[in-house]
Structure 1
Amino acid sequence: MKIKLVVVGKLKEKYLKDGIAEYVKRMGTMLPLEIIELADEKIPDNASEKEAEALKKREGDKILSRIQTGDKLAILAIQGKLMSSEELADFVKKAEVYGTGNLVFVIGGSLGLSEEVYKRSDLQISFGRMTLPHQLMRLVLVEQIYRAQMINRGSVYHK
């Protein structure tokens, strides 16, 4: 099994790239992490609700094209389930033990995720009700994936 992180938009800030690279390096061969960046749809300043939904659907189609049959899909959503690090570790472990595909985490674009992505998801995770920049959320999620692996291996990283 591999863990994939499918994200909409390109990471720009060097300090975030460096932080993510550090956790990816630490994970090494435990459970390899692949990050897939998808181009975000350009949103016109005066986009109607209908246009925004069409853009969200196009982004959703791009996301779903990266999900394979058998993959376990966890999406980040404000209204999702609040989880502790231990609960996330348990989810990762079950996907590793019982899964038939990869474990895929998704961070959508600024418009959110399409209804089709929600319907395909196996788990909706919330990191709280606060709005965080999507780029920063990548670093937080990658750290939590690393932490989950450390918990599952009994490491002292998680105290």
Structure 2
Amino acid sequence: MRILFLLFAILPIIEIALLVKVGGIIGGWNTIAIVIITAFVGSYLVRREGLHTLQTAQDKMQRNELPGNEIVQGLMLVIAGVLLVTPGFVTDILGMLFVLPGTRQYIASQVSKHMKTRVVSSAGFAGQGPFDSQQSPFTEAPKDQNGDVIEGQYTDKTERDEDHRLR
């Protein structure tokens, strides 16, 4: 909650103060030109990196792998696009950190690791959450001799028939 307060209350004040300061040093039109150029360059980079991330996610899905890291990177690219189009230097710097592949992959891996830890730790309490599975959500599904994954539901009719006979 405090982070949202910082984002919506303090960040615009910092942005305005920085724009006025930079405008006083290099001139108002130059400052406006820099803000517009960073918006165009940022939108180009977001589009390019977004298409690359989408292609990587599709490749993983064709190999029957979960594109978890790519989903996180895609969300980061959406946030980067919003930050880069928002006028200001602080938001541009944060947006560029989310767009550049090296920093985006590092941040995405940290976020994914944090999310996996939260999912695994909350799934550790069987019978207390919406996912009451005994199997970890990050283990591979069992396979038959051919390597095919067979999933489904079944009902053991022998137990039900024995219950009816006992009555």
TM-score relative to the length of structure 1: 0.29
Higher helix share: 2
Report which of the two structures shows the higher radius of gyration computed on alpha carbons.
2
